[in-house]
Chains A and B, each alone.
Chain A
Amino acid sequence: GAGVSQSPSNKVTEKGKDVELRCDPISGHTALYWYRQSLGQGLEFLIYFQGNSAPDKSGLPSDRFSAERTGGSVSTLTIQRTQQEDSAVYLCASSRTGAENQPQHFGDGTRLSIL
């Protein structure tokens, strides 16, 4: 596609439920990143995928968070047993390669609200 596509745009769910967030990167981009951003706060790195390499999961805040990237394209971020502190905007970004000089391009994000 022309840009990074994320779905759903908004998600409201009850505490304790599991949620799945989807990211479809720019076609041909091999690197994919997940971030989250709470209101008025900075970007918090969650996880990074590059090609067939093992993902960098160093930013995942707890074992309730997991992500996968199938076929080197679409990625799904799963949050199990959601908590109120998980409420945030979850942003996905992709870059052409994982090279350091490649800028990241963001999707519109998923606004997650845990009741």
Chain B
Amino acid sequence: RKEVEQDPGPFNVPEGATVAFNCTYSNSASQSFFWYRQDCRKEPKLLMSVYSSGNEDGRFTAQLNRASQYISLLIRDSKLSDSATYLCAVNPRNRKLIWGLGTSLAVNP
């Protein structure tokens, strides 16, 4: 089993839709979690850190489920500009982030 797993997608959704991605991790001692977005042929950019209590930033909501060992990202009212690959990153306490392969999202007009 990979340390961090994501559904590669692609997820195709219409504008205005709500879409959610999950990212599962295998190391139960992991403490830090992040969501990044990566546009085609660009570098990953931090979208948000994921806090134990869950956190929201505008249309984006991140949650952590420690019992089932996954984090989630919810995007409400999808925009065309949300089309990208969404990467999750998990730190299993050895100071080296473990990256998922990403979930591809395409928001269609």
By a beta-carbon cutoff of 8 Å, the part of chain A in contact with chain B is: 31, 41-43, 45, 48, 50, 56, 89, 91, 98-101, 103-109
Contacts and interface: CB of A to CB of B under 8 A. Distances in A.
Q: How large is the interface on B (under 10, 10 to 19, 20 to 34, 35 or more residues)?
A: 20 to 34
B66 interface: no
Contact of B43 (A42, A91, A98, A101): A91
> Would you call the interface of chain B mostly helix, strand, loop, or mixed?
loop
A108 B99 CA distance: 18
> Would you call the interface of chain A mostly helix, strand, loop, or mixed?
loop
Nearest to A99: B95
B9 interface: no
Contacts of A50: 95
Given A45-B96, A100-B91, A101-B49, 13 more contacts: A41-B101, A42-B99, A42-B102, A45-B97, A56-B96, A98-B95, A100-B32, A103-B46, A103-B49, A104-B89, A106-B43, A107-B43, A108-B42
